[in-house]
Structure 1
């Protein structure tokens, strides 16, 4: 893009002629590092060890994007659409997930859930969930292109990278994961969506002194680190299952066009919800 085109786009945005294209994550600390949020054409990777909240974080971001008016697609290769809906409802209503699943609800909680199922609530958001498992790179690309064309989708969250099937079954595992990573980056650029891909970290990070993850800990392929414009790594600071709220550091470990650093978060596990760190907890 010519410099004059960039200048004209900045002027148009400042004067209100362009709608904002930065997509909020719903977490102010992360948005601050990312100069407002995720951008069209970017591939962001959110990684953690299994069970440390990466799916919950992705759903929080998806809901925030949809609430901000950006049509959003969640591609869930691991959980069903119903499981995703339960997590979204728990976070939106503050009704604990176990109560939702058991339908052991008070009248007040039933009213809260009913309200979210109205067009004015969660059910009315431009938020789409695909729970088709075993997708290949090409099938994912077709799905995202269709969602962008039919529904104007601007934000895609894929849960998670290592569950995608490469189009070439003859590839070694690390080659398949690398090919999937490259395909998602190309797809983000082609469609103009902001693409968030979840990924797993290697087990070795748990044995490291301090436990701070690094981009090189991304599992199965070093190419993920190269392809990503943004890398967010979740580090739990406590792992006591009896705790209702867990302290988690989100490390902005890579940002192609900005600073890196750490954002302090609370993971309210029973609500599958991430919030800014509270000093009262």
Structure 2
């Protein structure tokens, strides 16, 4: 049985703003930054709106309907951090370690060389065969396959994963994973949780109470350990209705779920949320709309919110194109018809 997370034994001292200012000056004069440096997500336009990326001590929630690429997006952020010399801990409640490896190899190939790179299906086939060499050798005839595996070896030691298993990790274990990763890599890691509604928490009297405790626990980990936390969040039934735009109130959990988060990002199928007149009077664009998701910055304590970006789906490689764009079309919360 997982025990509830216990608060830190000691609390930070009460300081005057003058003391905080003096400490900040001491660090600045010593060539150190008193504020947490943002960790870029790798999506340039998103990072610009987030004032650089995800920050230590902050919790970012990523929500969206099933099958729209939440895990792919989260793994892309993890890959960008590790490949850039940072560390990352991925706690998955959905996938085993081999499935995560398959996704990372395909993602790496696509991120590096585009759609010509090996697809997820081909990587999976290579790992399913029982005969014939290493993974690099098995993918040597697939464009970008061997080089993707070689690149993954280069940063793989900084990307630590805790896959789905019979005993899911609770908040206490997640905190220990982050501490161990910092000691192992010498870096403050990004924490990715996929997904928060599956974190086991004792003591909740209802599903909403359990989820509230889980999200509060993740925020506590972010603050106590000074790490950025990206947590995938499931949607409720109302948020999965075709033609309806998923909003923060559609995330599965209590109404106060969003209060703990510093940043909330929501994914929606573009075809489902684009205004009707774009579909009626611009029929050539209908199929193109299906190739994109809308990524909305629903909440952002470090900058602007209410921003809609579009990302091109490349889910056959478990990824999106990184060159996000502002959405040029009008979007709606609910269409009056479904195709």
Q: TM-score, normalised by structure 2?
A: 0.72
Does structure 2 conserve the Cα–Cα contact (< 8 Å) formed by 1:248 and 1:267?
A: yes
**Shift of the alpha carbon at 1:135?**
1.8
Q: Does 1:237 align with 2:254?
A: no
Over 3 Å counting, the alpha-carbon distance change for 1:136 and 1:17 in structure 2 is: closer
Q: Does 1:36 align with 2:70?
A: no
Q: Secondary structure at the match of 1:101?
A: helix
Q: Which residue of 1 aligns with 2:245?
A: 212
Q: Distance in 2 between matches of 1:124 and 1:114?
A: 13
Does structure 2 conserve the Cα–Cα contact (< 8 Å) formed by 1:40 and 1:154?
A: no
**Shift of the alpha carbon at 1:238?**
3.8
Moved more, 21-30 or 134-143: 134-143
Q: Does 1:59 align with 2:91?
A: no
Q: Does 1:129 align with 2:161?
A: yes
Does structure 2 conserve the Cα–Cα contact (< 8 Å) formed by 1:138 and 1:167?
A: no
**Shift of the alpha carbon at 1:264?**
1.3
Q: Across the two proteins, how many residue pairs are aligned to each other?
A: 269
| 1:117-156 alignment, distance < 5 Å | 117-118=149-150, 121-125=151-155, 126-133=158-165, 134-151=168-185, 152-156=187-191
Q: Distance in 1 between matches of 2:263 and 2:77?
A: 15
Larger Rg: 2
Q: Distance in 2 between matches of 1:215 and 1:108?
A: 45
Does structure 1 conserve the Cα–Cα contact (< 8 Å) formed by 2:191 and 2:230?
A: yes
Does structure 1 conserve the Cα–Cα contact (< 8 Å) formed by 2:36 and 2:55?
A: no
Q: Which residue of 1 aligns with 2:221?
A: 187
Q: 2:299 aligns with which of 254, 262, 265?
A: 254
Q: Does 1:47 align with 2:81?
A: no
Does structure 2 conserve the Cα–Cα contact (< 8 Å) formed by 1:26 and 1:61?
A: yes
- Structure 1 gaps, min length 5: none
Q: Which residue of 2 aligns with 1:113?
A: 145
**Shift of the alpha carbon at 1:5?**
4.8
Does structure 2 conserve the Cα–Cα contact (< 8 Å) formed by 1:247 and 1:277?
A: no
Q: Does 1:270 align with 2:316?
A: yes
Q: 2:107 aligns with which of 81, 86, 91?
A: 91
Does structure 2 conserve the Cα–Cα contact (< 8 Å) formed by 1:45 and 1:228?
A: yes
Over 3 Å counting, the alpha-carbon distance change for 1:203 and 1:24 in structure 2 is: same
Q: Which residue of 2 aligns with 1:166?
A: 201
Deviation string 1:87-124 (CA, Å, 9 cap, x unpaired) is 111111121111111129774427x3333333xx1122
Q: Distance in 2 between matches of 1:148 and 1:167?
A: 27
